[in-house]
Amino acid sequence: IVNYTNRSGDAPITPSQLGAAYASATTGAVVTALGLKSLTKHLPAIIGRYVPFAAVAAANCINIPLMRQRELKLGIPVTDENGNRLGESTAAARKAIFQVVVSRIGMAAPAMAIPPVIMNALEKRAFLKRYPYLNAPLQVGLVGLCLVFATPLCCALFPQKSSMHVSRLEPPLQARIREEAAGVELVYFNKGL
């Protein structure tokens, strides 16, 4: 639902498409987690701690494009620098979705990469054996601290109002823009979050 409400365009999605996207992302994450967990059984414990990150990355790679599949089919609105709507572009939708997937994986990376190293180090010392009830609060606190910084930084990786050269759009849209808005070289679109 977060991915749906933070999409770029104004194309609606049906409840069945929403359910399919959720089920697909959940299945992808679970399959990734279980598959990697079985592969990392004989590896050092620190490697196994990164399995959830791989599962989250897989879920983002599946869920975001599925949630925004109507944008991939119908396109997202592109405008000139003054905000005048020039049409809908599937090429802009692909670029927007790619940027969102990269930033979402980037958001998860620190929160899922730094706490495992710290927790692994604490488990090697007697600290967590002496105070086992601190395990969960420490992990939650570390993840929260990472997200406080990672979320705004990764949202800022790509501008909210992204741009692209007209020459990279679909040929029919290029022709229409050159005919109706001669001189426009860049189009702008809302990439979503």
pLDDT of residue 43: 87
Q: What residues does 161 pair with on adjacent strands?
A: 190
pLDDT of residue 7: 67
pLDDT of residue 189: 94
Closest listed residue to residue 31, CA positions, set 53, 67, 58, 65: 58
Question: Both tokens of residue 46?
Answer: 């620190």
Tokens 């609060």 map to which residue?
Answer: 137
H helix and E strand count, the chain: 9, 4
Q: SS3 of 92, please?
A: helix
DSSP secondary structure letter of residue 136:
H
Tens-digit pLDDT string for the chain (193 aa): 676 677 665 667 788 878 887 888 888 888 888 888 888 888 888 888 888 888 888 888 888 888 888 888 889 999 999 999 999 999 999 999 999 999 999 999 999 889 988 888 888 887 788 888 988 999 999 999 999 999 999 989 999 899 999 999 999 999 999 998 888 999 999 988 8
pTM for this prediction: 0.82
